[in-house]
Amino acid sequence: MIFCAKCGAKNKAGDQYCANCGAKLIKPSKLKQPMQQTKPLRQAKPSKKRVDVKKSRHGKRAAVIGVVALLILAAGYGFGKSYYAKDKQIDRIISVLKDPSQDLSPYVKTDDSSFQLTKKSVRPLQTYYKENKTAANNLGSKWKNQEELDASFKKSISLGEDGHYFFLFPKYKLMVKTYSPTVVTNHKNSTIKMNGKNVGKLSASGDYYQKKLDPVIAGRYTFSVSANLSGKTISPSPVKLDLFSNHKVSLNITTGSFTVSSVPNGEVYINDKKVADLDDKGQASFKDYQITSGMSLYVKKSGIGKSDTIYNFDQYVTDPADQENDSDDSADQEDSDDDSSSDQIKAVNGRWVLTPSWPGLASSEDAEDLLQDIWDDNDSKDWVNGSSNTGYLSIKKLHDNWDDSDSVADYNEVVSVLSTSPAGNGKTYVNYTVTHKLSYTGDKDDTSVTDTYQNGIISQDSDGDYVLEKLGTPKAK
**Residue 370 located in a structural domain:** yes
Query: For 69, how many CA atoms within 13 A lie in the half-sphere containing its CB?
Result: 6
CB 156 within 8 A of CB 70: no
Q: How far is CA 401 from the centre of its chain?
A: 73
pLDDT tens track for 405-436: 999 999 999 999 998 888 888 899 999 999 99
Residues 212 and 124 in one domain: no
* 193-206 confidence digits (pLDDT tens): 999 999 999 999 99
Residues 374 and 458 in one domain: yes
Measured CA distances, 319 to 188, 284, 285 (Å)? 20, 19, 17
In degrees rounded to 5, what are phi and psi of residue 168? -120, -45
User: pLDDT, tens digit, for every residue of 447-461?
Assistant: 999 999 999 999 999
Same domain, yes or no, for 372 and 328? Answer: no
Q: Report pTM.
A: 0.64
Burial label for 230, CB within 10 Å (0-12, 13-18, 19+), is exposed
pLDDT value at 77 more than 80: no
CB atoms within 10 A of CB 106: 12
* pLDDT mean over 94-98: 97
Phi, psi angle pair for 126, to nearest 5°? -70, -40
Is the confidence at residue 325, as pLDDT, over 60? no
Query: Given 159, 176, 193, which residue is the final one in a domain?
Result: 176
Domain tally for the chain? 5
In CATH, what number is assigned to the domain containing residue 222? 2.60.40.10
User: Is residue 46 assigned to a domain?
Assistant: yes
- pLDDT bin (cut points 50, 70, 90) of residue 47 is low
Q: In Å, how far from its chain's centre is CA 310?
A: 27
Domain membership of residue 342 (yes or no) is yes
Asked if residue 384 lies in contact with residue 465, where contact means CB atoms within 8 angstroms, the answer is: no
One domain for residues 392 and 328: no
The answer to whether residues 240 and 318 belong to one domain is no
Residue 462 within a domain: yes
Question: Is the residue at 76 inside a domain?
Answer: no
Q: From 226, 250, 274, give the residue that closes a domain.
A: 250
User: For all residues of the chain together, what is the average pLDDT?
Assistant: 87
- For residues 270 and 350, membership in a common domain is answered with yes
Checking if the pLDDT of 5 tops 60, the result is: yes
Rounded CA-CA distance 319/271 in Å is: 20
In the chain, the N- to C-terminal Cα span, in Å, equals 172
Nearest to 270 by CA among 312, 320, 331: 312
CATH number, domain with residue 405: 3.10.450
Count of beta carbons in the 10 Å neighbourhood of residue 268: 21
What pLDDT, on the 0 to 100 scale, is given for residue 137? Answer: 94
What local confidence, expressed as pLDDT, does residue 336 receive? 45
* 468 and 381 housed in the same domain: yes
Residue 327 shares a structural domain with residue 379: no
Q: Are residues 378 and 468 in the same domain?
A: yes
More confident residue, 27 or 402: 402
The pLDDT, as a whole number, for residue 151 is: 63
Please check whether residue 99 lies inside any domain of the structure.
Answer: yes
Residue 25 φ then ψ, to 5°: -85, 145
Report the range of poorest mean pLDDT among 21-30, 164-173, 247-256. 21-30
Q: Last residue of some domain: 250, 267, 302?
A: 250
239 vs 343, higher pLDDT = 239
The number of angstroms, rounded, from the C-alpha of 89 to the middle of its chain's C-alpha atoms is 34
200 found inside a domain: yes
**254 pLDDT above the threshold of 60:** yes
pLDDT confidence of residue 56 = 67
Domain carrying residue 325 = 255-354
Residues 407 and 461 in one domain: yes
Residue 7 lies in a domain: yes
291 and 389 inside one domain: no
Q: Please report which confidence band the pLDDT of residue 18 belongs to, taking 50, 70 and 90 as the band edges.
A: confident
Q: What is the pLDDT of residue 331?
A: 43
Quote the CA–CA distance of 355 and 465 in Å, as a whole number.
22
- Residue 309, domain CATH: 2.60.40
Residues 282 and 306 in one domain: yes
